[in-house]
Structure 1
Amino acid sequence: MVIMLLNAACNVFLQNSVRNYVVQYLLELKVASGTDDVLDQLEGNFGYLSVQKYSSNVVEKCLECAREPRRIRIISELINSPLLLQILQDPYGNYVIQSAIKLCKGSLHAAFMKIIRPHIPVLRSNPYGRKVLSSFSTKK
């Protein structure tokens, strides 16, 4: 059923103000196979989805509900996204990055810091970038 909802047009599906709630609800059910189906369909698109008004909420929910190995893959995809600088400065994407920062640990957190460090001057001059920078300083 989940696969039928999230076919090749998943990006368009998630841009709807109501339909994205359906996907978030499916993730909140925490049925492993359903969550994996959603994550499989969205994989490779997390960067793009992070800068969209409605789908950014879905990406945050994916980070929250995914089991650790899948969460690491999502965060790694964000870190390696060619859209990373845009996501860091985006009104919606910055929340995705803040969620990812809260959920990453150890070497993944270090990799996140390393990739963001060169962008600090640009982020300081952007209101959304400053939110991301403050989330790094408050992470324990």
Structure 2
Amino acid sequence: MRFFPFRNYVIQYIIELKIPSVSVKLISQFKGNYVPLSMQKFSSHVVEKCLKHFEETRPRIIRELLSVSHFEQLLQDPYANYVIQSALAVTKGPLHASLVEAVRAHMILRTSPYCKRIFTRKLLKK
């Protein structure tokens, strides 16, 4: 699944409309694709919108991100790192704790250009 310039704005707008039947279709299309979508310039914005607006699906999205064998690549990716930051910002409780634990396991990356933003923000202290 690949998004192209400007199409992501349409998808983001549709997500913000919160039309249940449309949301269900989008969620089913994205399921299993959140990691590659997070690592693409245009679709990463869509994943961030999903995290913000699809509260009931948020745990599934985050579990999908956490289940990837190369989580540290998400932290270092120029686009996926913003998805991780968004996930940290919108979660709380055990889900947030799991995400923080996964991020902290890669503390050595804190000086990496894209990881700096994750480790210097207060998102890990929530």
TM over 0.5: yes
**Structure 1 residue 139 displacement after superposition:** 4.7
Counterpart-to-counterpart distance in 1, 2:112 and 2:97: 23
In structure 2, what residue type is equivalent to 1:55?
S
Q: CA deviation at 1:135?
A: 3.0
Report the count of equivalent residues: 126
User: Retained in 1: the 8 A contact 2:51–2:87?
Assistant: yes
2:77 match = 90
2:112 maps to what in 1? 126
Pairwise CA RMSD: 1.5
Select between 74-83 and 57-66 the one with higher mean Cα deviation.
74-83
Q: Which runs of 5+ in 1 are unaligned?
A: 1-10
Alpha-carbon distance in structure 2 between the residues aligned to 1:55 and 1:61: 10
Segments of 4+ moved more than 2 angstroms: 134-140
TM-score relative to the length of structure 2: 0.91
Partner of 1:112: 99
Partner of 2:121: 135
Q: Which runs of 5+ in 2 are unaligned?
A: none
User: Which is greater in Rg?
Assistant: 1
Contact 2:85 2:123 in 1 (8 A): no
Aligned pair partner of 2:40 in 44, 52, 72: 52
Which of 15, 26, 49 pairs up with 2:14? 26
Question: TM-score scaled to structure 1, two decimals?
Answer: 0.82
Match for 1:115: what amino acid? A
- Give distance in 1, aligned partners of 2:30 and 2:125: 27
Percent of residue pairs bearing the same amino acid type? 46
Structure 1 pair 81–60 and aligned structure 2 pair: CA distance change class (3 A)? same
